[in-house]
């Protein structure tokens, strides 16, 4: 059975596969051969071999689902605490400026809850709970907007390269006039 386009199985799909493995365990205990089990359950022999090996090594617990392989989730209570801590600001948590970067939020989650997120996972967590990332405007403190506008209007047209002529050019590199 191939996985869905999104990657892994849903909770329902995982439960269905677990029921299938438990049916295989019943057949293992009944003494059936791998080929018979595979044909009866409509799975590959290779899967049945893997299940039998796991069953032999760890018993029924070896074929049970291990749950979602997804990233660890924070509880609603932890999310509320995270929101309170984010509102307190980065300075309170030891950073030198007032920017909450994804890396800083990731570090804060690790410090508070001992849960590891990736930077992308942190972004998705924030997005899922209606928060947005902020990107500061990178401008010098000394910037004079009026002087910039004046330069754009007066100086830039003088230094900008003139447009190329619209007449056809020459194919010769050495004698531009020849054709």
Do 82 and 58 share a domain, yes or no? no
123 inside domain: yes
Q: What is the pLDDT of residues 33-64, one digit of tens each?
A: 999 999 999 999 999 999 999 999 998 888 88
C-alpha 30/C-alpha 36 separation (Å) is 12
18 inside domain: yes
Do 90 and 54 share a domain, yes or no? no
- Output the pLDDT for position 57: 92
Three-state secondary structure call for residue 70: coil
Please state, as a whole number, how many other Cβ atoms lie within 10 Å of the Cβ of residue 5.
5
H helix runs in the chain, sequence order: 11-29, 34-41, 45-58, 76-88, 102-113, 119-128, 145-154, 156-159
136 inside domain: no
Do 58 and 87 share a domain, yes or no? no
Do 80 and 58 share a domain, yes or no? no
108 inside domain: yes
85 inside domain: yes
172 inside domain: no
Block means of pLDDT (10 residues each) for the chain, length 179 residues?
Answer: 55 86 92 93 92 91 77 82 91 88 92 89 87 70 88 86 70 63
Residue span of the structural domain in which 24 resides: 11-62
113 inside domain: yes
* Whether the model pTM is above 0.85: no
154 inside domain: no
Question: What's the number of domains the chain is made of?
Answer: 2
């Amino acid at each position: 059975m191939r996985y869905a386009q999104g990657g892994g199985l849903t909770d329902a799909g995982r439960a269905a596969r677990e029921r299938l493995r438990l049916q295989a365990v019943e057949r293992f205990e009944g003494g059936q051969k791998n080929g018979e089990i595979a044909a009866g359950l409509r799975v590959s022999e290779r899967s049945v071999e893997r299940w039998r090996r796991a069953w032999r090594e760890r018993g029924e617990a070896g074929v049970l689902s291990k749950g979602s392989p997804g990233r660890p989730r924070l509880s609603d209570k932890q999310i509320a605490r995270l929101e309170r801590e984010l509102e307190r600001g980065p300075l309170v948590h030891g950073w030198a400026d007032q920017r909450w970067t994804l890396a800083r939020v990731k570090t804060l989650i690790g410090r508070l809850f001992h849960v590891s997120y990736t930077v992308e996972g942190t972004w998705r967590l924030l997005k899922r709970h209606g928060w947005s990332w902020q990107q500061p405007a990178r401008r010098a403190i000394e910037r004079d907007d009026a002087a910039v506008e004046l330069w754009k209007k007066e100086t830039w047209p003088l230094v900008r390269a003139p447009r190329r002529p619209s007449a056809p050019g020459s194919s010769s590199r050495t004698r531009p006039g020849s054709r």
